[in-house]
Amino acid sequence: MKGIDLTGRVAVITGGARGIGRATAESLRDAGAKVAIGDIDTVHAEHTGKKLGIYGGYLDVTDPYTVAGFHGTVEERLGPVEIWINNAGIMPVGPILDQDDAIIARAVQINLLGVINGSRVAARAMAARGHGRIVNIASVAGRVPAPGMAVYNGTKFGIVGFGEALDAELAARGVRVSTVFPSFAATELIDGLQSTRGMEPVPPQEIAAAVVSVLRRGHRSAVVPAQLGLTTAAWIHLPRPVARWLSHRTGMDQVFLTADDRRRSYDSRIHKGPAT
């Protein structure tokens, strides 16, 4: 796919009030795009918007009507939306048999259905105009499964499959889809977790830079950090005993099963409302 010049293009970022979304908004703004962020946390969305000098407003990605309304508002204020970044997500961790039904449903609704809702609304307008770019923020968890991450893994694997199928379906109509695979991002998502060998926390600014690069260069995907690209792509093809051995050697077999008290605040927030 061809890269695009970001100057003057209207870009929307879901879950843009914090973390990766906020960093991406700042990077796209600095690259010359006209940026809008949406977030279920209206106060933080508006605050971040004012801080960055961009539009920030309420967006619940689980509700297609709200998504359509936000998209319409952005087009009225800034012009045709040419870039849509599906970033909103939550990361519940812990033994799958201990997780409650509500947080499992919420993770699926935000992480996967939210991407589908956003993509459908944005792609309808993009396809009608004959051009547009959608970037899905997945995770290396969309390639590498881990104990304690079954629900999160499931939603991120789903995002990867959905994005590939969407690109195949809409490429002929000028709408292209890319995927960014962050590793252990240095945001609230990893509060209370211990990083493992090869999983040092990645600053959200690095992930934001990858989004900008994917758009400018027309890349299908990007892994952050890049050195994990081949390993994560190959993981699903490893024999299970080998994968389990590597998981144990790196500590990945335990890191998402246990969390300390620092995670309580994040867990409480994702149960009640705002995504990150």
Query: Looking at the DSSP assignment, which residues form a beta bridge with residue 84?
Result: 12, 134
Amino acid 123 reads A
Nearest-5° Cα angle at 98, 93 to 104: 60
Chain centroid, CA 51 distance in Å: 22
Catalytic residue among 55, 58, 65, 152: 152
Sign of the Cα pseudo-torsion (6, 9, 15, 19, in order): positive
Lookup result for tokens 């969390």: 259
Of the candidates 84, 93, 88, 59, the one whose C-alpha atom is nearest the C-alpha of residue 73 is 59
Is position 152 annotated as part of the catalytic site?
yes
Give the other-Cβ count within 10 Å of 170's Cβ: 18
Active site positions, annotated: 152
